[in-house]
Amino acid sequence: MGNTYVNTRAVKINVAIAVVLLLVVAVVALRATSDSGVTRNSDSDMTWNYDEAFDQRANGTTVLSDVRATAADDIWAAGQSTPTIGQPGDESADDGFLLHHDGTHWQRRPLPASFGTSVYDARFDAVDSGGLLLTASLDLNSLRMAHWDGTRWTALPELPGDPRAADIKALAPDDIWVLDGGTRAYHWDGTRWTAMDLPTTVAALDGVASDDLWAVGSRYGKGPDEGPGLPGGQPAAVHWDGRAWKLVPTPEYHYTVPAPEQTVLLTQVVALDGDVHAYGELTSVSEDDEPDPPAEHIHLRWNGTRWTKLPNTEGACADRGHAVRDGERGEVLSARKYLTADGSCERIADPEPPSSYGIKGKAWFRLNAITAVPGTDKILGVGSVASASSDPAYKVIIVSLKR
């Protein structure tokens, strides 16, 4: 009986930790979501238009993981090709690559020399003062970073201690922050990296100035079994004022019906001038076989003085985290959700792949990332499309929003 208890508890805790990690890592993932509450007016429906398509690697898989534009003639996409184990060529390493659009067409570009070729989890972050920051991993840690100034890539030195990058904020080429997903932050000042201890566990980062940044996550009391995804967590927010990271009080969340194994984690923070929002989830990690209460989305807002609760973010277009603005028309919230400037929630329809793609039967369409093109109302996305049949054709795609 004792062993059954321990095993059940361990399984549920491991599942909870996995869920938490997925929430942290997949903030920008744009998988298929429910259309509940979305307007389906055929006269106003939008769709994605196929701009480019590439075959996946022979004996492997090709993925475009991120896309970012600094201008209409400076658009970057990052990808990797992974060999299939047990197939010819499986001894080769993951092949990381970049695609660049110069305003006319896409061209394949190599990664910065400091990255080598074997990378994964490549991501772009806008540098607020201009340009892009490219980050990729050589393994579970071992980050590589480089800044694009519109002309060339400049490599940054390796971070001390080989941390992973849970989140990144780049205010300028000499003012970059990295969170490791635990209790440590790293700052680049243009000369060196400085590691800083944080007063609690954080998962997400955003800010508007070098003396005004927020990191959010969870706080715990003292105990040997406490940590991210385990019972007892409550929302946590820490603020950087240019001198130190300080813990700022946040409201607590509890189920209406007591759930002793509840936990709360903030997984996203969005900072605009004078307006900061944090998003997360209240959930339960049960230690018995009783059914757990359903998870609840949570939403906090900083009003300049304190954090206050807002109604939860459930609903078709309620979650307005890292939305991508469509000029003055509205915001793209996900692959299938669009919020107009007047507050209407509209559906973005799946596109029908051209017959030349070889997609048979029902198509499986997924976007991994989207970006707005500055100076235009254009939205681009990268992802893939495949057949739902047992012998699928698979294409890596670049798409644009069509109205």
CA atoms within 13 A on the CB side of 61: 11
Q: What are the tens digits of pLDDT across the range 270-320?
A: 998 778 999 999 998 766 667 778 889 899 999 899 999 998 756 667 666
Residue environment code for 313-351, b if the CB has 16+ CB neighbours within 10 A, otherwise e: beebbbbebebbebeebbbbbbbbbbbeeeeebbbbbbb
Q: Give the single-character DSSP code of 314.
A: -
Q: What are the tens digits of pLDDT across the range 222-252?
A: 643 455 556 788 999 999 999 999 999 999 9
pLDDT, mean over the chain: 82
Q: What are the tens digits of pLDDT across the range 5-25?
A: 233 333 333 333 333 333 333
pLDDT given at position 213: 97
pLDDT given at position 314: 63
**pTM of this prediction?**
0.83
* The token pair that represents 115 in the structure block: 């990255």
pLDDT given at position 94: 58
| More confident: 27 or 215 | 215
